Structure 1
Amino acid sequence: MRIGNMHQFTEHHRYYTFRDFSLSAVDRKMIGLIYQSMIGAFAVGLYHLLYQQVADDRVGYSELEPQRKLLLGLGLEMHERGRQELVNQASRLEAVGLLQATRLGVPDNDDVVYEYEVVKPLSPDEFFNSPHLTLLLRDKVGKHSVIALRESFYSQESDELAGAELTREDITVPFYELFRLNTQGFDPELEQALTEVAPSRQAAPKQQPAETAGMQYGEIIMRFPRNSRNRQHVERLRGNDEAMAQLNYVAYKYSLSVVDVCRLLDEDHAFSPQGELQIDELQLRGNQMFRQDRKRQDERERLYGRMESLRADNAKEGAADEMPDEVGVLAEFYMDVPAQLAGRCDIHQYNMLMRNEPHTRFIARFFKGAVPDDFIRQFDKFDLNYRMQGAVINVLIHYVFGLLDADRLNRGIIDSIANNMLVQGVETFEQAVGYVRKQLQVDQDKERRRESGNAAPAGARRNGGSAAAAKGRRKPLIPMVPETTNGAALTDEEMEEIRRLTRKLDGK
């Protein structure tokens, strides 16, 4: 409980409790053995005191009463220290999920009322599947005690059944096979009466995961082949909410239909020999199916795009003098003519072609013969799937084929540049030109740094002594005697003296 001022939480303030459940034997055992070990007996006593405010055979609200009743029931004094102890114990219950406290205030009144909603304890499965609660219990009682506590909540299966491989067949009779309701006997008075006596506060519904395809067991079993050897395993999915949730998640993740899911379940290794759903195998097969469907969808879109372009070309040929207006290019956005097209057009003609010509014709200007199919499919993908503008694609072609080195040219580089342009939101010719110029500047800076790095050792040798001193080098560099080309030539006597000294030093 977050109480900023203890004067807002006194024994005179009123409270009420609410619960929509009743404790079972397993719930009481969970509270006595599990929760009490984590939060202490005092907090558990507060939980039982709040629970008993409503009769054990009823659910709903308790009467409005002052908090003096809680303090007296817990044996606390009517002062600030006693109220602080009540807040601390309630906070322990809230931390482990057994209590929710709310402060209710009337807009035109300073008086507040406290609501204590008692929450049902978790079942053994839910508790031990919660990592934070399990770790807290381990810190309180130890690892071996946690294992013993978990085993105390389960009755083990007999050895005869546990060791045998049994086939499971669901023979449960559904409701509508046994009972027939009179659909014509609608009773409006009964419906109205049930609505009037219904509690004003309904239990919070269990949240369903949003990531689901919404497939039901009936939809799958109705389309699943009867002669499949996995039929018996699929029939066991009825009533298995966890397996159906996993199956729906895989279908949602990879956009699979009911027919696709049935096809996956009919594959080998979709189920274990014991009939358990192999979710990892299903995800692998679902991912392969998703990628294949996406590839086929891309091919269809490109095919339809070519058909639409052919229809548009035919319509243009049939209509006289309906050529689209060319868009001019400002001089500040001119790009230089690449070496492949030098002499074939000037800079103005080249930029007009790059701005207005379709990419299928513009790319052909960089090849002497036919354009390779890989490049055609790749740039068609940018046009039809990525929805890039034709002028932007032409600038990309200019950058790739006209400015990049031939050694760096491959499909990966082209895809990387196109993806980078899409991420940066390049949508117009002018933005594409700015992007290319920026990349060229980055390449020039890298080349300049590389050249300066190669020239650095010579400078380091010239300043060897000072650099070594600055770096703290213990062994100084010995300066070399520079070669001198100027000065007078040696005489014959001097040369003979040098030879004599050399022979003396050599021992000859």
Structure 2
Amino acid sequence: MRIGSLHQFTEHHRYYAFRDFSLSAVDRKMLGLIYQSMIGAFAAGLYHLLYQQVADDRVGYSELEPQRKLLLGLGLEMNERGRQELVNQASRLEAVGLLQVTRLGVPDNDDVVYEYEVVKPLAPDEFFGSPHLALLLRDKVGKHSVIALRESFYAKEADELAGAELARENISVPFYELFRLNTQGFDPELEQALTEVAPARQPTPKPAQTETAGIQYGEIIMRFPRNSGNRAFVERLRGNDEAIAQLNYVAYKYSLTVVDLCRLLDEDDVFSAGGELLLDELQLRGNQLYRQDRKRKDERQRIYGRMEAVKAESGRNDAGIDDMPEEVAVQAEFYMDVPAQLAGRCDIHQYNMLMRNEPHTRFIARFFPGAVPEWLIRVFEVIDHNYRLQGAVINVLIHYVLGLNDSQRVTKTYIDAVASNMLVKGVDSFERAVGYVREQVKLEEDKERRRESGGAASAAPRRNGGAGASAAKGRRKPLIPIMPEAQSGAPLTAEEMEEIRRMARKLDGKST
């Protein structure tokens, strides 16, 4: 409770209590064993005193009364020392989330009214799931006592059921299977009556449950450096549910841990000069960290894949046996034509058997007379270890990008795009991969056919229509007439040639 001057908080100021719950047996046990150990018996007594201002079988508001009643109920003196003690104990309740105090100003009057909103204690799961509360309890009673207290709230399952693997089936009856409501419509009189008797203060609606990283403010501030320049800004996040929700959204979006989030909050330009959290800048840096972590993870997966392949190869060599998986036959309807690079080296049956059963590292080597380019090996290594495409699907992909004799397709970008398209379309078997390739080839042929037919149709009007056809298309540049070639006729005589020369000299100014 933040009170600037105790003259603003006296026994003459009025107050009222509000609560919208009733304590259960578990709640009372939480107050007696857990909360009282952290805040003390005096603060717990203040909580019960405020709770009892409203009848136990009701919820809502208490009567407006002077704070003298609170001081007398707690055995405090009517002086500055007693009021300060009341402020301190109320602050303890506020710190652990059991009380919220609001100062209300009365219009046209200098008097104020204090509202004490009593908050329900957390359930055992929620309490021990809050790191800052659990750590405070550990500091007060010790680690072993915390473990014993948590066990005291749970009734253990029978050993016969706990150790067995049982099939769970929900046999509960839904509401509309047992009850039938009157379908004539709603009763306007009942709706109006319920609205009139409804309390003026409605409970605050809970926000919609969204995916979150579940990081609490206590976890952030406990790991944040004390000598950081952003320490003061991070401390302001306490009680700011919106900012904490934004941090959890960024952490969930980019798979950040508490340590990663603290590292980002410690960087420059994450907070404005006024201490406001810059969400766009935080997301940008979180994305950079996410991409770096993903790149390192992909590299580790490829290295581990190489190591496993080497171990498996050495194991087969040491055992002297061939542990190759059993070959799978290919049906004739899924045969692919032998590419030009392998024509004459194998027939269509052998080629499809190799494509169906051979590892991609050996299959791709058959398309090159020497060594396979290093960049091509890395591209298919990523597809194998990171994209997790099956070996037969990768071989079909190799056939598609290398076996169709189109040099424009042998690029890293194109290969990665085709592999990504296969993943999106769920190509997870040899047969589906063959169907995908045939579909793509057919689409390309149709596109080429339309292009050729469109080119022929556009060329005809240019030959026949001339400027009129171009004008019909609405071309922007004007057509410039070209001097037609003169038709060949009889040769010029000597007199005509001399007349032409004389006219030329006259135009040049050499003669008159």
Question: What TM-score comes out, normalization by structure 1 length?
Answer: 0.52
Native 8 Å contact 2:401 2:409 kept in 1 = no
What's 2:423 paired with? Answer: 422
What's 1:238 paired with? Answer: 238
Q: Structure 1 pair 432/502, CA: closer, same or farther in 2 (3 Å)?
A: farther
What is the one-letter code of the residue matched to 2:340?
A
What's 1:290 paired with? Answer: 290
Partners of 2:493 and 2:460 in 1: CA distance: 36
What's 1:490 paired with? Answer: none
What's 1:199 paired with? Answer: none
Q: Structure 1 pair 413/20, CA: closer, same or farther in 2 (3 Å)?
A: farther
Native 8 Å contact 1:20 1:203 kept in 2 = no
CA RMSD in angstroms, aligned pairs only = 4.2
Give the drift of 1:403: 1.0
Show CA shifts across 1:217-251 (max 9, x none). 21111111222222222222222222222212211
What is the one-letter code of the residue matched to 1:353?
L
Give the drift of 1:320: 2.8
What's 1:342 paired with? Answer: 343
What is the one-letter code of the residue matched to 1:213?
A
Partners of 2:445 and 2:229 in 1: CA distance: 65
What's 2:83 paired with? Answer: none
What's 2:257 paired with? Answer: 257
Partners of 2:473 and 2:351 in 1: CA distance: 59
Native 8 Å contact 1:400 1:409 kept in 2 = yes
What's 2:277 paired with? Answer: 277
SS of the residue corresponding to residue 327 of structure 1 reads coil
For residues 55-454 of structure 1, the aligned pairs below 5 Å read 112=187, 114-115=190-191, 116-117=194-195, 203=203, 205-207=205-207, 209-317=209-317, 318=319, 320-454=321-455
Show CA shifts across 1:143-197 (max 9, x none). xxxxxxxxxxxxxxxxxxxxxxxxxxxxxxxxxxxxxxxxxxxxxxxxxxxxxxx
What's 2:172 paired with? Answer: none
Give the drift of 1:456: 2.8
Partners of 2:226 and 2:186 in 1: CA distance: 68
Show CA shifts across 1:372-405 (max 9, x none). 3332222122222222111110010011012152
SS of the residue corresponding to residue 272 of structure 1 reads coil
Native 8 Å contact 1:217 1:237 kept in 2 = yes
SS of the residue corresponding to residue 238 of structure 1 reads coil
SS of the residue corresponding to residue 366 of structure 1 reads coil
Q: Structure 1 pair 231/451, CA: closer, same or farther in 2 (3 Å)?
A: same
Q: Structure 1 pair 106/383, CA: closer, same or farther in 2 (3 Å)?
A: closer
Partners of 2:353 and 2:437 in 1: CA distance: 17
Q: Structure 1 pair 277/464, CA: closer, same or farther in 2 (3 Å)?
A: closer
SS of the residue corresponding to residue 237 of structure 1 reads coil
SS of the residue corresponding to residue 234 of structure 1 reads helix
Unaligned 5+ segments in structure 2 are 1-58, 63-101, 108-179, 475-487, 501-512
SS of the residue corresponding to residue 271 of structure 1 reads coil
Q: Structure 1 pair 256/117, CA: closer, same or farther in 2 (3 Å)?
A: farther
Partners of 1:225 and 1:472 in 2: CA distance: 70
SS of the residue corresponding to residue 114 of structure 1 reads helix
Give the drift of 1:27: 12
Native 8 Å contact 1:316 1:323 kept in 2 = no
Show CA shifts across 1:464-494 (max 9, x none). 59x97xx899xxxxxxxxxxxxxxxxxxxxx
Native 8 Å contact 2:219 2:258 kept in 1 = yes
SS of the residue corresponding to residue 190 of structure 2 reads strand
What's 1:169 paired with? Answer: none
What is the one-letter code of the residue matched to 1:335?
M
What's 2:177 paired with? Answer: none
Partners of 1:287 and 1:380 in 2: CA distance: 25
Identity %: 63
Native 8 Å contact 1:392 1:428 kept in 2 = yes
Q: Structure 1 pair 434/502, CA: closer, same or farther in 2 (3 Å)?
A: farther
Partners of 1:331 and 1:111 in 2: CA distance: 67
Q: Structure 1 pair 108/224, CA: closer, same or farther in 2 (3 Å)?
A: closer
Q: Structure 1 pair 316/108, CA: closer, same or farther in 2 (3 Å)?
A: same
Partners of 1:251 and 1:336 in 2: CA distance: 50
Unaligned 5+ segments in structure 1 are 1-18, 30-104, 123-201, 474-494
Give the drift of 1:355: 0.9
Partners of 2:457 and 2:185 in 1: CA distance: 78
Give the drift of 1:328: 1.6
What is the one-letter code of the residue matched to 1:248?
N
Q: Structure 1 pair 412/322, CA: closer, same or farther in 2 (3 Å)?
A: closer
Native 8 Å contact 1:21 1:120 kept in 2 = no
Number of matched residues?
A: 311
Give the drift of 1:331: 2.5
What's 1:455 paired with? Answer: 456
What is the one-letter code of the residue matched to 2:230?
N
Give the drift of 1:426: 1.6
Q: 453-462 vs 373-382, which deviates more? A: 453-462
Q: Structure 1 pair 120/265, CA: closer, same or farther in 2 (3 Å)?
A: farther
Partners of 1:458 and 1:232 in 2: CA distance: 73
Partners of 1:369 and 1:267 in 2: CA distance: 51
For residues 32-47 of structure 1, the aligned pairs below 5 Å read none
Give the drift of 1:363: 1.3
Partners of 2:184 and 2:473 in 1: CA distance: 77
Partners of 1:355 and 1:327 in 2: CA distance: 7
Native 8 Å contact 2:340 2:405 kept in 1 = no
Question: What TM-score comes out, normalization by structure 2 length?
Answer: 0.52
What is the one-letter code of the residue matched to 1:260?
D
